[in-house]
Amino acid sequence: MIKLEHVVLASPEQMRFIIEGMRNPMNSWGKSDSEYETAGYDIVGFDLGENDRSLMQRLANAGTDHRKFMRMSPVYVRITAPLYWWKEFDTYKVGTVANSCSTMHKIQAKEFTMDDFSCEHLDIRTKALLEETIKALNDYRKLYIEYNADDFEIKGCPSKKDIWWQMIQLLPSSYNQTRNVMMNYEVLANIYKSRRGHKLDEWCDFCKWIETLPYSEIIMSSSGLDLNSINALQGAARNSSNGYIYKRKTED
């Protein structure tokens, strides 16, 4: 399971700045045809012109040395995913920043339930094992919350930190953690190229989410896809509700 929400993209002013920098090497600012979308005196959006889109496409296909504008194009998103997926995501350390919900400090904050875990592929036996693990976690959680040093010393029970260790080391990797993540289009291009056909559903859904982003064709073509394939994938992704949520900030 993976959920992607609260997406924040480059503002119109940032897009203007990114395009200006993209055209610096050839002093071709006069060829820029992108415009602000306005309502009265307010800037409400950004209309990417065909000249600028074409240049973006050519630079993206030319390789990482030429597509520096993609590193300047930010993407913020709130992701909820299992720990086993985050372990792989942490490969992408350059160009990413994340603030995580802490299992170290807040593991005891709420009662554990099946909804806290990605378990959609478990069979009857393994789901029963997870349920037993959740019961044990909640037992230790209760001991941790109700801990009284005098009572536990009399009963011969371990210290409060020992109880905490039981939860930390017993916690399955299917436990879902939420992080607010900052990336850029270059990071997304690297992810899309290497993870689009991955065996984990979470990576496949993440790549489908990439396909729904504005100007995603720039990412997709840099992975070697042709225009017909790009159009088909974009259409399918935008019509899909396969486990992820994509909302632009203005639609929240």
Residues 210 and 217: their CA atoms lie apart, in Å, by 10
3-state secondary structure of 11: coil
Residue 82 covered by a domain: no
State the total domains in the chain: 2
Residue 73 in any domain: the answer is yes
Looking at the structure, do residues 7 and 73 belong to the same domain, yes or no? yes
Q: What is the dihedral of CA 102, 107, 110, 112, to 10 degrees?
A: 120
* Measured torsion, CA atoms of residues 151, 153, 157, 162, in degrees rounded to the nearest 10: 110
CA distances to 77, 164, 197 from 200, rounded to whole Å, are 20, 31, 9
Residues 65 and 12 in one domain: yes
Neighbours of 135 (CB within 10 A): 10
- Tokens at 246, concatenated: 């994509």
Q: Please provide the size of the chain in residues.
A: 252
Give yes or no: residues 69 and 113 share one domain: no
- Collapsing DSSP to helix, strand or coil, 189 comes out as helix
Residue that terminates a domain, selected from 116, 140, 170: 170
Based on the fold, state whether residues 165 and 200 are members of the same structural domain.
no
Strand partners, 172: none
**Domain match, 162 and 207 both:** no
Place of tokens 């998103």: 77
Whole-number Å distance between alpha carbons of 125 and 178: 28
Give the residue from 126, 144, 170 where a domain finishes. Answer: 170
Pairing of strands 74-82, 176-184: antiparallel
220 and 155 fall within a common domain: no
How confident is the chain (252 residues) per 10-residue block, as mean pLDDT? 97 98 97 97 96 96 94 98 97 93 88 97 98 97 87 70 93 97 97 95 96 96 90 88 41 36
Q: Are residues 166 and 201 in the same domain?
A: no
160, 121: one domain: yes
Identify whether residues 147 and 200 lie together within a single domain. Answer: no
Q: What b-and-e string marks burial along 144-155, b requiring 16 or more CB atoms within 10 Å of the CB?
A: beebeeeebeee
Q: Which residues neighbour 115 within 8 Å (Cβ) at sequence distance 6 or greater?
A: none
SS3 content of the chain, % helix, strand, coil (to 5): 50, 15, 30
Pair 233, 192 in one domain: yes
Domain end marker among 122, 144, 170? 170
188 and 150 within one domain: no
Predicted TM-score (pTM) of the model is 0.91
Q: Is residue 16 part of a domain?
A: yes
Amino acid letter, 72: M
Helices 12-22 & 50-62 angle (0-180, nearest 10)? 60
- pLDDT recorded at residue 249: 35
In a domain, 132, yes or no: yes
Domain for residue 100, yes or no?
no
247 belongs to a structural domain: no
Residue 164 lies in a domain: yes
Q: What is the pLDDT of residue 150?
A: 73
Identify the domain containing residue 24 by its residue range.
3-77+182-239
Together in a domain, 202 and 234: yes
Helix axes 201-212 and 227-238, enclosed angle (nearest 10)? 100
